[in-house]
Amino acid sequence: MKTVLQAFVDQVIANSRFDELDRIYLNNRIMSLVGEEGMTAEAKSSELIALKEQLVAIAYHNGKVGGSFAEQDCLGTSLMDFITPSPSQVNHDFWKTYESSPKQAIADFYQLSKRNDYIKTKAIAKNIAYSTKTAYGDLEITINLSKPEKDPKAIAKARELPQSDYPKCQLCMENEGYQGRINHPARANHRIIRFDLEGETWGFQYSPYAYFNEHAIFLCGKHTPMQISQVTFERLLAIVERFPDYFAGSNADLPIVGGSILTHEHYQGGRHTFPMEKAEIEHSFVVKGFDKVEAGVVKWPMTVIRLKSRQKEEIIALATKIFLAWQSYSDESVGVLARSHGESHHTVTPIARKKGDVFELDLVLRDNQTSEKYPDGIYHPHPDVQHIKKENIGLIEVMGLAILPPRLKEELEEVEKYLLDEPHQMADYHREWAKAIKEAHPDVTRDKVAELVHEAVGLVFARVLEDAGVYKRDTKGQKALLRFIDSLGLE
């Protein structure tokens, strides 16, 4: 049986440009990181990532690394850097392959990002994921268990470190190859594909903790704040041209309705068909001067206008017209207010796709007003559903995929016990919701209770999206939406 060092070096040679002549060099470099003691231990696996984890455990025993996740991840990414080509080589290979097959170039980069453990496939597999039927189709639910919990000791230790603004954020190009520290993730095995986007240098990478298939990030080469404008629509449609079969979307650029990182211009994309994409058009219209663009309102809990055309420039022009109109549009009869107290409230969450030679662009209308009744946001999950979801409704949730907090794994198990009349420790904030489920299903059985709770969570998520929708699904709301659409000037 091989030692852990032999087995790991075997895998490095098999998965990189190193060859047998490099074995002694690799042995020495790895021992410099891990320590020499324990290198003759028997390999517990022949799989690369498992061997990496065994080496990290040996390094901890040798005192070469601390016990926190952050410290051990710094070492782990350095070990996986051995199988990761240099940034220049990764880019050279990508664009050389792209000349003959864009899809193959993307597939190769995706496989590299999984093989070198940049995409945390083992951690992602821990997530709980399912779909559930609602009035809006099958919504997707994920309880996020992949991201490591923050270690209190590491948090305390991070406070003692000197303040650093390098890299400025987790999306900056400077993350590529960064060793990492307790308060900033390790990125030694991180690679970014560079490409030109509307005259600027942008990067293409994958999300380490992916929420859907081939979850990608497109990031600006400069650390500039997010801003929705005509340029956004131009970039998104250029991205879906450049990256076949991928969608591309942007979080909104205002607090409450925006994403978690508003300080760095970036978009998300990937190879996934979200529930919103499957939703049908329930009201079609044509804007004067844009007869080559099909426009319609999507049957969805949030307010979505979908544009379709073979003419990219026409879609961009109409999207810009709608966006600018929405920025300044108010209708106080339904609580729609463009500005108050000197602040703008209106923006959009845009999502682009390309199907054959047809471009598709969804514009989700957003409003970030707050009130005394709804201090978290009028168009934000309301208090009665925050026991399930209280975080901002960003791009991914908008499209019908709920990213729910890890606390719900155990909390929902306690709800199941309550429904089965078993001893439980159900959180008080679930009580009213659970009581309503129990009254509707008094005879639920053990083999059906998990499915019942899944369905109930899906219905809550549908309500969350309705709360976030600017124009409500009732008659009054839909008439008000048509007034906004009429204001665009219809044929």
Q: Which domain holds residue 286?
A: 211-379
Q: For 348-382, how does the pLDDT look when each residue is reduced to its tens digit (9 = 90+)?
A: 999 999 999 999 999 999 999 999 999 999 999 99
354: β partners = 359
- The reported pLDDT for the residue numbered 259 is 75
Q: Is 48 domain-assigned? A: yes
Task: Report whether 82 contacts 14 (CB < 8 A).
Answer: no
Query: Pick from 44, 65, 86: which residue ends a domain?
Result: 65
- The reported pLDDT for the residue numbered 164 is 77
CA atoms within 13 A on the CB side of 375: 1
Q: Is 443 domain-assigned? A: no
Number of domain units in the chain: 2
SS3 for the chain is CCEHHHHHHHHHHHCCCCCHHHHHHHHHHHHHHHCCCCCCCECCCCCHHHHHHHHHHHHHHCCCCCCCHHHHHHHHHHHHHHHCCCHHHHHHHHHHHHHHCHHHHHHHHHHHHHHCCCCCHHHHCCCEEEEEEECCEEEEEEECCCCCCCCHHHHHHHHHCCCCCCCCCCCCHHHCCCCCECCECCCCCCCCEEEEECCEEEEEEECCCCCCCCCEEEEECCCCCCCCCHHHHHHHHHHHHHCCCCEEECCECCCCCECCCCCCCEEEEECCCCHHHHCCEEEEECECCCCCCEEEEECCCCCEEEEEECCHHHHHHHHHHHHHHHHCCCEHHHCECCEECCEECEEEEEEEEEECCEEEEEEEEEECCCCCCCCCCCCCCCHHHCCCCCCCCCHHHHCCEEEECCHHHHHHHHHHHHHCCCCCCCCHHHHHHHHHHHHHCCCCCHHHHHHHHHHHHHHHHHHHHHHHCCCCCCHHHHHHHHHHHHCCCEC
CA–CA dist 335, 455 (Å, integer): 31
Query: Pick from 316, 345, 379: which residue ends a domain?
Result: 379
- The reported pLDDT for the residue numbered 363 is 98
Q: Is 470 domain-assigned? A: no
Q: Which residue type, as a one-letter code, is found at position 4?
A: V
CA of residue 175 relative to chain centroid, distance: 18
Q: For 407-423, how does the pLDDT look when each residue is reduced to its tens digit (9 = 90+)?
A: 999 999 999 999 999 99
CA–CA dist 425, 413 (Å, integer): 9
- The reported pLDDT for the residue numbered 155 is 47
Query: Pick from 379, 404, 420: which residue ends a domain?
Result: 379
R_g over Cα of the chain: 25
CA–CA dist 12, 178 (Å, integer): 21
Q: For 12-63, how does the pLDDT look when each residue is reduced to its tens digit (9 = 90+)?
A: 999 999 999 999 999 999 999 999 999 999 999 999 999 999 999 999 999 9
**Averaged over 68-75, what is the pLDDT?**
95
- The reported pLDDT for the residue numbered 150 is 56
Q: Is 293 domain-assigned? A: yes
CA–CA dist 178, 446 (Å, integer): 49
Confidence of residue 165 (pLDDT cuts 50, 70, 90): confident
CA–CA dist 261, 45 (Å, integer): 38
- The reported pLDDT for the residue numbered 147 is 78
pLDDT at 64 over 70: yes
| Count, residues in the chain | 491
Confidence of residue 322 (pLDDT cuts 50, 70, 90): very high
Q: Is 201 domain-assigned? A: no
CA–CA dist 288, 321 (Å, integer): 11
268: β partners = 217, 249
Q: For 100-134, how does the pLDDT look when each residue is reduced to its tens digit (9 = 90+)?
A: 999 999 999 999 999 999 999 999 999 999 999 99
Q: Is 104 domain-assigned? A: no
Q: Is 337 domain-assigned? A: yes
- The reported pLDDT for the residue numbered 261 is 85
Among 257-266, 332-341, 348-357, 400-409, the least confident range: 257-266
**Averaged over 137-162, what is the pLDDT?**
73
Q: Is 440 domain-assigned? A: no
**Averaged over 150-169, what is the pLDDT?**
66
CA–CA dist 393, 414 (Å, integer): 26
Q: For 431-458, how does the pLDDT look when each residue is reduced to its tens digit (9 = 90+)?
A: 999 999 999 999 999 999 999 999 999 9
pLDDT at 197 over 50: yes
